[in-house]
């Protein structure tokens, strides 16, 4: 059964409310995560608690339990000059620093002649997300995995 301290392997398909597939492990290795370590969004972790190998779970998760609400404070208009001679397109993503100095990913959402709008919200912020999950394996986490707070090995995190 899925519980804190288990490494869980799942196949998953993630859809938005219009049924568009946003992400899927289909055709890839299953995703390995360490349960109880916030490796995955809280709404999905809650839905998987207590499940067994072979079970299928379908769950629709509100933004508060997924990637949070959209925060307009994370949208910024910056001068085109900041990008120098680089070509910029809507949808491009850049690594940037937020005011606290944390590394964030910003997405270009609008381009004017002299100004570019970038959005530091997670691309899935503000969205209801539906996950269709199949549990393919459950094992005890190693001491290393517990101390690192993530799964190791195929499908997990590598060092
Ligand atoms: Zn590690």
State pLDDT tens for residues 29-79: 999 999 999 999 999 999 999 999 999 999 999 999 999 999 998 898 989
Say whether 72-119 and 6-67+125-156 share the same fold: no
- Sign of torsion, CA 137 143 146 147? negative
Which residues are within 5 Å of ligand 1 (an ion), measured at CB? Answer: 148
- Higher pLDDT: 142 or 85? It is 142
The Cα–Cα gap between 5 and 140 comes to 6
CA of 146 to the centre of ligand 1 (A): 9
* In the chain, alpha helices (H): 42-48, 143-148
CA of 156 to the centre of ligand 1 (A): 9
CA of 150 to the centre of ligand 1 (A): 6
Q: Are strands 93-97 and 21-24 parallel, antiparallel or unpaired?
A: unpaired
Q: How confident is the model at residue 6 (pLDDT cuts 50, 70, 90)?
A: very high
- CATH (residue range 72-119): 2.40.10.330
CA of 33 to the centre of ligand 1 (A): 11
Q: Where are the domains of the chain?
A: 6-67+125-156, 72-119
Which fold, 6-67+125-156? Chitinase A; domain 3 (3.10.50)
CA of 144 to the centre of ligand 1 (A): 7
CA of 39 to the centre of ligand 1 (A): 12
42-46, 94-98, 104-108, 153-157: range with lowest mean pLDDT: 153-157
Average pLDDT value for the chain: 92
Backbone φ and ψ for 45, nearest 5 degrees, come out as -60, -45
CA of 42 to the centre of ligand 1 (A): 21
């Amino acid at each position: 059964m899925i519980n804190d301290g288990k490494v869980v392997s799942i196949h998953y398909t993630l859809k938005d409310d219009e049924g568009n597939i946003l992400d899927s492990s289909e055709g890839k290795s299953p995703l390995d995560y360490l349960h109880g370590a916030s490796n995955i969004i809280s709404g999905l972790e809650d839905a998987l608690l207590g499940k067994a190998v072979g079970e299928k779970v379908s769950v629709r998760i509100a933004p508060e339990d997924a990637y949070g609400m959209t925060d307009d404070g994370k949208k910024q208009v910056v001068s085109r000059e900041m990008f120098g001679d680089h070509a910029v397109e809507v949808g491009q993503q850049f690594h940037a620093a937020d005011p606290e100095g944390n590394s964030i990913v910003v997405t270009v959402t609008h381009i004017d002649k002299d100004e570019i709008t970038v959005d530091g919200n997670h691309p899935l912020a503000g969205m209801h997300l539906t996950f269709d999950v199949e549990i393919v394996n459950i094992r005890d986490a190693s001491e290393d995995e517990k101390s690192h707070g993530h799964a190791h090995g195929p499908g997990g995190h590598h060092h």
